[in-house]
Structure 1
Amino acid sequence: MMPATKESWNEFAARLQEKGFAALAIDLRGHGRSTDKNGTRLDYKEFKDSEHRESMKDIAAAKEFLKGQGVDISGMAIAGASIGANLALWQASIDKDVLLLILLSPGLNYRGIQAAQLAPHYSGPVYILTSEMDATNAAQSSRELFKIFPGDKELNIRQGNSHGTNMFIQEPDLIDKLLEWTTNKIYKY
């Protein structure tokens, strides 16, 4: 989520770990302390759409990191907020190891990442969370995506105008809802 960092997922990740799940939050390129191969800091504000799409490599690298740590990545859940939601959907649409998908404030088109074209290619459980008055029109995008997803799906549109992980600040109980959904679905599938 622009301009958020991986720390916006800390509470959710920590609570997953308390339940015995491996959890990893990452900074997409241009966020937080991310650098290029030469150690130069990257700034998402300077990216072209094609550079934002390159963030898919960050998700693939995170998966490889987990595998290298001995984590069984078959049956993994992936979550993202804002542009991260679209990137998470992209990964889920091409990765058979993704069992569950959590999307916070997804858009139909974030920086050229076309969610409506990706959604039909993911048939696993998906939880979509957004705010009704989100300035990016994420609620309408979420409604449209909800119709497209072919599998088990849930849409939760909250009152307010928070975007992405900022919804956790406005409504901390949302983390409990996501944990309950994740736990129930992981053990069901």
Structure 2
Amino acid sequence: MSAVGWRGLTRGIRAAGETHRSRTPGCARPCHAAVKQLMTTRVRPQRARHRTGRRALRGLSCTPIRAAPVNPQGREVMRKLSCSLCALLVVSLLCAAIATASEPREVTFRTFDNVTLSADYHEPKAADPHGAPIAILLHMYRVDRTSYRTLVGPLHEAGFAVLALDLRGHGKSATPELRKRVEARDPKLCEEMHQDLRAAYDWLAQQPGVDRARFALVGASIGCSVALRYAVEDKSVDAIVCLSPGPKYLGLDVTGELPKLRGRKLWFVSPQKERADAESLAKLTEGVEVKVVPGDAHGTDLFGQVNGLEQQIAEYLKRAVGAPSDAIVYGSIRGEVYHLPGAGWIEQIKPTNLRHYSSAHEAEARGLRAAKSRGPQDKPPTKTP
């Protein structure tokens, strides 16, 4: 570009209203600074390697561009332009953050007692030969799975396959009859919710690309109680995050169940006013961390008041479930023993009862013992009279 052309371009920019004396709003300062730097930078072309290139560069003017005062109308135009550019940048960043979570796939499945449940499934973000760890999210009473929408992204970025479930009587898992039971605060309804979690696991375990040996739960309020009671039955649960846990929500007592939890990692998050409940429950079992947060929000409402809580949960669960394992052992949800890979007993376990553990040590830490034989063929023959 010739010197005349370059100076003409700078005059056009100055005419648009840029001036080093303009009053720039705070939201536009980053954009203003970038434009100002561009307009006041001395161009220092590198020495051309060829004679023709050096002759061409002599025509360029390297005089620094100096901003000149302009009329108020020009400053207003540039202020609006700067604000618009900053707003566009913010929107772009937000869109990029939202895009980190996979687009959910709405799924349905049935429980053992014939209740149809609805859930959002977020598939693993990348293929892994070991499979992705799994996380099931359980909401509060009289809300639904959308209460976890801000947690899904961080969990997905941490590598989890995520299933956000509508418990029976809530969201899209509600029938007129179940809604009436929810409104009536029927304690038997909460007792039945462990079947919802069991059905959710059975569905999730059949999905490609998941690692059943790394299994986490997140519960809020009554969802905490459902998660804790289920984990007593299913020893393959590695970690549970509880938002606002309580001893007896809607008649669902967990104080007698917590001492049965062994070899798990639990994180209780409570506001200051609910601190006593969280700390009293933590004393009933091992491996519990308690985090007390400011404010008075309850359950998933903490997401709007505790800065960075979603990211902290994702990081905690990623550490808690651990790395993929090459030493997986197997057991039945109804059994007290575990089996090594290739054992004939594994084939005898009903698929919906089969559970995976990262190691023999993990299984033993949760109360299981090694099987005495590898399969029916190894059993000593029964004596006949």
- Do they superpose with TM above 0.5? yes
The amino acid of 2:301's aligned partner reads: N
2:290 aligned residue: 155
1:42 aligned residue: 178
The amino acid of 2:206's aligned partner reads: G
Aligned to 1:54, what secondary structure does the other structure show? helix
Structure 1 vs Structure 2 CA RMSD: 1.7
Gaps of 5+ in 2: 1-139, 324-361, 363-385
2:302 aligned residue: 167
Q: Does 1:126 align with 2:266?
A: yes
Percent identity, aligned pairs only, is 30
Aligned to 1:80, what secondary structure does the other structure show? strand
Q: Give the Å deviation of 1:41.
A: 6.2
CA distance in 2, matches of 1:29, 1:47: 13
Q: Is the 8 A contact 1:3 1:31 kept in 2?
A: yes
Q: Does 1:97 align with 2:236?
A: yes
Task: Note the alpha carbon deviations across 1:126-182, whole angstroms, 9 max, x for none.
Answer: 00001112xxxx3221110111122x2210011111000000011241111111211
CA distance in 1, matches of 2:298, 2:305: 10
List structure 1 segments (4+ residues) > 4 angstroms apart after TM superposition. none
Task: Note the alpha carbon deviations across 1:27-82, whole angstroms, 9 max, x for none.
Answer: 1111111135xxx4632223410112111111111101101223332230011000
Q: Does 1:143 align with 2:279?
A: yes
Q: Is the 8 A contact 2:158 2:315 kept in 1?
A: no
CA distance in 2, matches of 1:28, 1:63: 13
Structure-2 change in CA distance of 1:35 and 1:2 (3 Å): closer
Q: Does 1:28 align with 2:164?
A: no
Aligned to 2:161, what secondary structure does the other structure show? coil
Higher relative contact order, chain-length normalized (CA < 8 Å, sep 6+): 1
Q: Give the Å deviation of 1:112.
A: 2.0
Q: Give the Å deviation of 1:26.
A: 0.5
Aligned to 1:24, what secondary structure does the other structure show? strand
> Structure 1 residue aligned with 2:225, among 72, 83, 86?
86
The amino acid of 1:183's aligned partner reads: K
> Structure 2 residue aligned with 1:10, among 131, 144, 149?
149
2:134 aligned residue: none
Q: Is the 8 A contact 1:105 1:163 kept in 2?
A: yes
2:319 aligned residue: 184
Task: Note the alpha carbon deviations across 1:84-141, whole angstroms, 9 max, x for none.
Answer: 00100011111111000111111100122111111111121100001112xxxx3221
Between structure 1 and structure 2, the one with the greater Rg is 2
The amino acid of 1:143's aligned partner reads: E
Aligned to 1:165, what secondary structure does the other structure show? helix
CA distance in 2, matches of 1:126, 1:166: 20
Q: Is the 8 A contact 1:93 1:121 kept in 2?
A: yes
Aligned to 2:238, what secondary structure does the other structure show? strand
1:19 aligned residue: 158
